[in-house]
Amino acid sequence: MVFDVEASEVKPAKNAHELFMVSLGALLLLGPMTIFLEMGRISLLIPLLFSSAFALYTYLRIPHSQSWFIQMHWRLALRNYRWLFLGYAITSVLLIGSWLIETTSHTDSPAQLLAIALIRIGLMPTIIMVFACFVMENGALNQALRHEVPEGLVKLFPPPENSV
């Protein structure tokens, strides 16, 4: 839905989506960095903690928004984090499965190949979700520029009477 908002409200609304996109760009750099530093499996927690910090900041920022329109765009950015965390969850399940196979099978067992395959495949859900989030946030950024709020958010959080 399109709303009549002042031009001064568009920039703070855009900030939520721009912050999300910056965090996604940083995630794409954190992965290779942790591999380069040979930090092991624990290094997979670094991007997760990094994303959690950005999501927490976004969550804490919502009540401090000056207007309903700005608040809705911060909520939209926060809702988009769920897709990124879904990617992390699927990756975690696959990597934990790989670790369990690796630790319970003998070193000369063919199951070791399955463990290696799960590691390679396990990173893909997060990578795919990062790119999907880039697309979603680009769309949300365009919505902010066009003074739009998704109808689902409008139904959940109706606007004040004077902003329609």
Per-residue pLDDT tens for 24-63?
988 888 877 776 777 776 777 888 899 999 999 999 999 8
Q: What is the CA radius of gyration of the chain?
A: 20
Burial of 113 (0-12, 13-18, 19+ CB in 10 A): exposed
What letter represents residue 52's amino acid? S
**Which residues touch 76 (CB under 8 Å, ≥6 apart)?**
16, 17, 140, 143, 149, 150, 153
Is the model's pLDDT at 90 over the cut of 70? Answer: yes
pLDDT of residue 164: 53
| Local structure of residue 108 (DSSP, 8 states) | T
Is the model's pLDDT at 109 over the cut of 70? Answer: yes
Q: Once rounded to an integer, what is the mean pLDDT over residues 65-90?
A: 93
pTM of the model: 0.84
Q: Which of 62-71, 91-100, 105-114 has the lowest mean pLDDT?
A: 105-114
